[in-house]
Amino acid sequence: MTTRLFILAFLWICVPTCTAQQWQNDLQVGLKEAAQQNKKVLLFFSVPERCDACNKLERNIFRSPEFIEFASENYVLVKIDFSYEAEELSKDQLEKNLLIVEKYNKDGFFPHVVVLNKDAKITNKVGVYTRETPQQYLSLLRNNSKS
């Protein structure tokens, strides 16, 4: 009985974290990892406190099993977060994030998702999240992608 409880407790604690993907908050680190792993970078701009669509995109798409599986095979994930928690980033990192926004999200749309190759060139942009299913969103990522 004790063994069963231990196994159940382990699964209850471990499974959610084992299926979650790892998001970087530094684009340069993400690009380096992508080059090493022969993947692209999925760059996600978010303002969770002020952007309901950002939260829905994260909850409905980025946490879905379909996206997690696809992303683990194809992308290094980088999130540029302008939430209150982002204020805990170093001044240097905040300045880097502002330069990244100027380069990849000039119009300041949130949420905004771009896919970059290992040379930091845009290979895909996904428009504003409009309640697509995970399958529909993955289709957008696949169909709009340039090498």
Segment 1-60, tens digit of pLDDT: 554 544 444 434 444 434 457 999 999 999 999 999 999 999 999 988 889 999 999 999
Q: pTM of this prediction?
A: 0.81
pLDDT tens-digit series, residues 108-132: 889 999 999 989 999 999 988 999 9
d(CA 1, CA 97): 51
Could you write out the DSSP letters of every residue in 77-112? EEEEE-SGGGGGS-HHHHHHHHHHHHHH-TT--SSE
